[in-house]
């Protein structure tokens, strides 16, 4: 519950800062499906979530309802989260969590620093892609498996962390080892350093 409380505080703190952070939770439940009132109260009080009745048997209408909610909560960034393949005759509940973030880098990437750099698509093959770069004061952590850097946003207490495996194409193994507890430990042991950071211009 402490973690949930922190998220709720962060959800409102952004209003006073130079960034927007919005978190929303919703449960779409098959109409007339029995659910305990204590469960509903728990969702509403501890997670700021809402429960909404829906008829999953009316597949097209259900998809429009769910996708409409997601699109609204993400300011149109995610429009088609689910499709017909996500609903079947056994579907009675969908639990959704939406997070929307918009911020400005504390130190902007300069377009004149964007250069062509090799980007490896296989272990031995690379292609030239545009890489943004910036020399910045960042939070940095490293161990024998990975390196992490946290790029600061305006507002002072929000960073975007980039994770780079030490061994090329070992991302799946790194992801498997990164539990929530481990990530928090890595964040806590991060040190502020002046580094030059490269980032692919487009992540699509």
- Which residue among 59, 77, 103 closes a domain? 103
pLDDT (0 to 100) of residue 3: 45
Return the pLDDT at 7.
53
Is 18 within 8 Å of 104 (Cβ atoms)? yes
List the CATH number of the domain containing 145. Answer: 2.30.39.10
Structural domains counted in the chain: 2
Residue 88 pLDDT: 95
Residue 46 confidence (pLDDT) = 80
For strands 19-30 and 49-54, give the pairing: parallel
Based on the domain organization, do 176 and 159 belong to the same domain?
yes
Whole-angstrom distance, CA of residue 25 vs CA of residue 96:
6
Pair 83, 155 in one domain = no
Distance CA 159, CA 106 (A): 10
Q: For the chain, which residues score pLDDT lower than 70?
A: 1-17, 201-204
Residue range(s) defining the domain that contains residue 146: 111-200
């Amino acid at each position: 519950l402490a973690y949930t409380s922190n998220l709720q505080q962060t959800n409102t703190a952004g209003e006073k800062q130079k960034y927007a952070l919005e978190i929303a939770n919703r449960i779409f439940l098959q109409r007339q499906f029995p659910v305990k009132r204590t469960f509903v109260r728990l969702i509403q009080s501890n997670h700021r979530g809402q429960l909404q009745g829906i008829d999953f048997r009316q597949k097209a209408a259900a998809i429009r309802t769910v996708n409409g909610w997601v699109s609204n909560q993400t300011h149109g960034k995610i429009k088609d989260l689910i499709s017909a393949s996500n609903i079947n005759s056994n579907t009675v509940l969908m639990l959704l969590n939406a997070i929307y973030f918009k911020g400005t880098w504390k130190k902007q990437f300069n377009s004149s620093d964007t250069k062509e750099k090799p980007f490896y698509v296989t272990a031995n093959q690379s292609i030239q892609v545009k890489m943004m770069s910036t020399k910045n004061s960042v939070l940095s952590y490293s161990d024998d498996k990975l390196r992490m850097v946290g790029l600061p946003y305006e507002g002072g207490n929000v960073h975007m962390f980039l994770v780079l495996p030490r061994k090329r194409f070992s991302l799946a193994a790194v992801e498997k080892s990164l539990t929530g507890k481990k990530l928090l430990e890595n964040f806590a042991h991060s040190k502020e350093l002046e580094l030059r950071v490269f980032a692919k211009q487009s992540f699509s």
